[in-house]
Amino acid sequence: MPLNPNFLERLVLFRLNKGPAPMLDLFGAASFESVSLALELGLFESLAGAEAPLTAAALADRLDAHPDGLATLCNFLVAEGYLTTEEDGYRLTGMTETWLLAASETDMGPWLAFWNDLVFPFWERELETAVREGEPSRSIYEWFDEQPGRWEVAQAGFRAAASLLVDDVVDAVTVPGGSTRLIDVGGGHGLYAVELCRRHPNLSATVFDLPGAVAAVDDEIPDAVADQVSTRAGDYRTDDLGDGYDVALLFNIIHAHDPTENTALFERVADSLAPGGRIIVLDQWEGSGRTSVSRAGLRFVALTYLTTLGATVYAHEEVTSWLRDAGFGDVTRRSVGPLSGLALVEATKR
């Protein structure tokens, strides 16, 4: 959470263990719920559109809320670093302007909504089952299928998260010269395929994913690449992927499958590639966290995958062995993004 204990508080809570550090988790949970409500109310957008700071009463008029209730919420958001106060009212902090406004290219609001509306409610249903039995009673994707609107929320969240990484990832991706066809296996929101086509005008891409996933994507393809990017609904584990592709993306999907399934998937992808075709895998990798934040992030991701999919985080050495078993060689790895833990693994069809 953005709350940053000062030196004395860190000394008392962490090093000396003289105070209950778990209370910070309580504050963090309350902060997440409060930010989620602020996004739902449109509080941040109202402040962004104002020419001057706004009082709680002025905000209440705009948001159809009680001024006393809104003041209490805003004061907590001040303490958490999302708002600041001046004599004449509240205004946004730089953090909120950067990460939580719809007009920002780095808007994480849909990503937080995805967790608030879908993932954590699913956790409440399935976390204990997953811990006791090793997997949930059903996958979160099966749960999405029960209400198609859930896929829309999920894809908006996935897109928001990917938007923070797309430039770094696409910069790192190797597209061999002369490549004209790409398949984005389990590509969902299609953001990576779109950006690759934008940078490579001779490239066409097929985003292959479940019906609920691609249905939420078709309207999001920009006009500039509409002739280059298409979607295809299916199950990449069993349905025909096509053939003759030069590049195959497998981004954030191998964690959802066991080693046998991943080796079989790599073999299916190899069959879909032209000779010398390139496979590119993006995921989080076990053991790659080098800082406290990245290590916590990997453990959080692993628990999420267990709870939502009965899945895990793999070491890149495991993935390398599966790729070689499936007929790929020249395997390379490259970290991407501002925090360690996420990396591209590329290989060439032998």
CATH of domain 7-99: 1.10.10.10
Q: What is the pLDDT of residues 58-84, one digit of tens each?
A: 999 999 999 999 999 999 999 999 999
Q: Measured between alpha carbons, how far is 324 from 263 in angstroms, rounded to an integer? A: 9
Neighbours of 73 (CB within 10 A): 20
**Residues with Cβ within 8 Å of residue 225, at least 6 apart in sequence:** 194, 197, 198
Q: What is the b/e burial string over 247-262, where b = at least 16 CB atoms within 10 angstroms of the residue's CB?
A: bbbbbbbbbbbeeeeb
Residue-by-residue DSSP string for 219-279: GGS-GGGTTTEEEEES-TTTS---S-EEEEEEES-GGGS-HHHHHHHHHHHHHHEEEEEEE
Could you tell me the residue ranges of all domains in the chain?
7-99, 166-349
> pTM surpassing 0.85?
yes
Structural tokens at position 126: 């399935």
- Pull the structure tokens for residue 239: 């349905």
Architecture of the domain defined by 166-349: 3-Layer(aba) Sandwich (3.40)
State the pLDDT at residue 339: 63
- Say whether pLDDT at 344 is over 80: yes
295 compared with 127, residue with greater pLDDT: 127
How far is 161 from 251, CA to CA, in rounded Å? Answer: 13
CB 73 within 8 A of CB 66: no
pLDDT at site 211: 86
Identify the pLDDT of residue 293: 82
Model pLDDT for residues 236-249, shown as the tens digit of each residue:
999 999 999 999 99
